[in-house]
């Protein structure tokens, strides 16, 4: 029976593996090995929380086995429970001092807690103990990339590739490293070499396409079109379709869709692409008809929600959004859909979930008063970091640019360091105050609050006359922000042009939803708000650029 479980597990037949394992456990005493195997199966099937239950059960029976501590630590790490993961790894390493796999994961835990020197020390130690360990070099490359240390990142990633030439993730990061460093010739050379060597690697093709769009090359879709022409495949279709739709090339998207149909038929990917194209063309009733015919209606739940919003079927919107939220409760986008459905229904729960007076902070930075030396220094430095000509395709900014990478982790300029310190000083007391704000324990701001808030993503946006942000949320955040470093004089009290707007969704609703809260930008102003709040900006016209620093606050950043 045990061999049968292993066979099913290795064949990715996890339900069958679990069925036989339950029969086996009913006949023999539970051992640490059987509990760990149960956990492995649940983890492989995508049930991390269930896996953690059984990894804990295995440890209860034998807490001294290093592998059991490591397995539980890895599952916890993947759920961002980094503190407990680090504690378990420390126990595993104490029992086996040269447990290199555990040392690498412990380094990643250190990096998640922003203990970067400890992370570097652990990874260096692994490389000394086992110079041929490509994983240690790869993770060290990611650490240096995260910190903006491009030269060190390149050395480590090239070493990882030398030891493991098939490690395409390292090749992708080398390209990303050159992009973030602003080295366009190097990025172009690496992209051309990688794409020529790996013409069917979807991630590389997507990276090359996005770089072409952001840098304004003449034919940004050349690599992805060539890849599709040479080897049509479902995965590259999805990548290509998303970019065509985001780019607004609906005719190109329809041509690709028809080509895919001839190659692969009317499968689930075709349905998804067709529905997204219908959404762009506002064919909402046809969307619902197609979904009803689908063999996997649940796969199109989000698109069904969009169609119901447009048609005014708000009760159906609520049902769809509620299910999406229950399936992925930490995804702020699905929570935004749920709050919007409540607003459309006139449900009082909307004002509880979207309470601007209690949940939004507006504060003034003392170091960033207009036209001071500190303000001018920060403006000059941030402006130098805007090295692209166009914002990333999937980002909300239009007619503006966004800095690459994680600004706060990779930038050691004194003006940025001072800004970070002041932002922490303003945000932490506000986050602490939320604990006593009278929120229900199930309120998402309270339920999703991290044990320790980290600035786990940060960037700068520079925009000019005519620019605006389309409405969006930050799906992986807890709290998000806008910190205004420079605001042109044309944004003033005469109108709300250039203002930060809340509440207007980015999709059509039968009854138009106007913004229900506005914030006037001002140099030195910090605005904090829950990440599930729809937010956008109105276009402004006139002289002057608007320069903003933004960040998401949530749990540890697990990039390394």
Domain boundaries, the chain: 212-281, 284-352, 354-554
Q: What is the pLDDT of residue 356?
A: 97
Q: In the numeric block, which tokens belong to residue 50?
A: 């269930």
| pLDDT tens figures, 1-12 | 999 999 999 999
Q: Indicate if the pLDDT at residue 395 is higher than 80.
A: no
Percent of the chain scoring above 70 in pLDDT: 99
| Tokens matching residue 378 | 């920060």
Residue 369's pLDDT is what?
A: 87
pTM (2 d.p.): 0.92
Mean pLDDT of the chain: 94
Average pLDDT on 429-439 reads 91
State residue 392's pLDDT score.
67
Residue 391's pLDDT band, with cuts at 50, 70 and 90, is low
Answer yes or no: is pLDDT of 512 > 70.
yes
Residue carrying structure tokens 């349905």 = 271
Do 365 and 422 meet the contact criterion of CB atoms below 8 Å apart?
Answer: yes
Pick one of 1.10.10.10, 3.30.2290.10, 2.60.120.620, 3.40.50.620 as the CATH number of 354-554.
2.60.120.620
- What letter does residue 389 receive in the DSSP assignment? S
Q: Is the pLDDT of residue 396 over 90?
A: no
- Residues 227-238 have a mean pLDDT of 95
Is residue 385 predicted with pLDDT exceeding 70?
Answer: yes
Instruction: Say how many C-beta atoms besides its own lie within 10 A of residue 289's C-beta.
Output: 12
Q: According to the model, what pLDDT value does residue 436 have?
A: 84
Tell me which residue of 542, 548, 496, 490 sits closest to 519, measured CA to CA: 496
Q: Is 394 exposed, middle or buried (0-12, 13-18, 19+ CB in 10 A)?
A: exposed
Asked if pLDDT for residue 371 goes beyond 90, the answer is no
Asked if residues 318 and 345 have their Cβ atoms less than 8 Å apart, the reply is yes
Which percentage of the chain shows pLDDT scores above 90? 88
């Amino acid at each position: 029976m045990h061999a049968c479980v292993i066979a099913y597990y290795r064949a990715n037949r996890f339900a069958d593996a679990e069925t036989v394992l339950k029969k086996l456990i009913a006949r023999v005493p539970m051992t640490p090995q059987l509990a760990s195997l149960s956990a492995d199966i649940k983890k492989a099937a995508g049930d991390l929380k269930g896996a953690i239950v059984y990894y804990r059960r295995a440890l209860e029976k034998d807490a001294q086995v290093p592998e059991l501590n490591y397995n539980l630590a890895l599952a916890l790490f993947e759920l961002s429970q980094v503190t407990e993961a680090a504690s378990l790894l420390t126990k595993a390493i104490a029992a086996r001092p040269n447990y290199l796999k555990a040392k690498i994961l412990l380094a990643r835990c250190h990096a998640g807690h922003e203990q970067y020197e400890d992370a570097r020390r652990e990874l260096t130690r692994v490389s000394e103990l086992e110079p041929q360990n490509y994983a240690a070099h790869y993770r060290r490359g990611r650490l240096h990339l995260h910190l903006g240390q491009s030269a060190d990142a390149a050395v480590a990633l090239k070493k990882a590739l030398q030891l493991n030439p098939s490690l395409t993730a390292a090749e992708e990061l080398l390209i990303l490293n050159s992009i973030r460093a602003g080295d366009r010739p190097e990025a172009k050379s690496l992209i051309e070499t990688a794409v020529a060597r790996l013409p069917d690697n979807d991630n590389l093709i997507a990276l090359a396409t996005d770089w072409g769009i952001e840098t304004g090359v003449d034919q940004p879709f050349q690599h992805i079109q060539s890849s599709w022409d040479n080897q049509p495949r479902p995965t590259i279709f999805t990548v290509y379709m998303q970019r065509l739709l985001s780019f607004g090339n609906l005719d190109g998207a329809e041509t690709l869709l028809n080509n895919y149909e001839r190659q692969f038929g009317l499968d689930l990917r075709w349905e998804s692409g067709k529905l997204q194209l219908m959404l762009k063309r506002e064919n909402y009733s046809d969307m619902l008809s197609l979904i009803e015919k689908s063999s996997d209606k649940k796969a199109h739940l989000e698109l069904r929600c969009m169609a119901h919003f447009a048609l005014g079927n708000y009760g159906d919107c609520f049902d769809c959004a509620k299910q999406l939220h229950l399936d992925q409760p930490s995804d702020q986008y699905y929570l935004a859909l749920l709050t919007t459905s409540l607003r459309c229904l006139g449900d009082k729960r909307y004002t509880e979930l979207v309470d601007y007076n209690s949940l939004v902070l507006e504060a003034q930075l003392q170091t960033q008063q207009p036209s001071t030396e500190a303000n001018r220094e920060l403006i000059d430095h941030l402006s130098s970091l805007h090295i692209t000509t166009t914002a990333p395709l999937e980002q909300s900014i239009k007619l503006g640019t966004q800095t690459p990478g994680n600004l706060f982790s990779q930038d050691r300029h004194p003006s940025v360091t001072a800004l970070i310190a002041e932002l922490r000083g303003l945000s932490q007391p506000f986050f602490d105050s939320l604990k006593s704000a009278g929120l229900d324990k199930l309120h998402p701001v309270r339920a999703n609050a991290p044990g320790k808030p980290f600035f786990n993503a940060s960037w700068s946006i520079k925009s000019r006359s005519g620019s605006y942000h389309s409405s969006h949320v930050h799906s992986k955040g807890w709290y998000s922000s806008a910190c205004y470093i420079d605001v042109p004089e044309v944004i003033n009290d005469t109108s709300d042009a250039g203002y930060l707007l809340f509440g207007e969704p980015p999709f059509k609703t039968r009854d138009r939803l106007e913004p229900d809260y506005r914030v006037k930008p001002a140099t030195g102003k910090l605005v904090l708000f829950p990440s599930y709040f729809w937010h956008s900006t109105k276009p402004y016209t006139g002289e002057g650029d608007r320069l903003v620093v933004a960040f998401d606050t949530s749990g540890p950043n697990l990039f390394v």
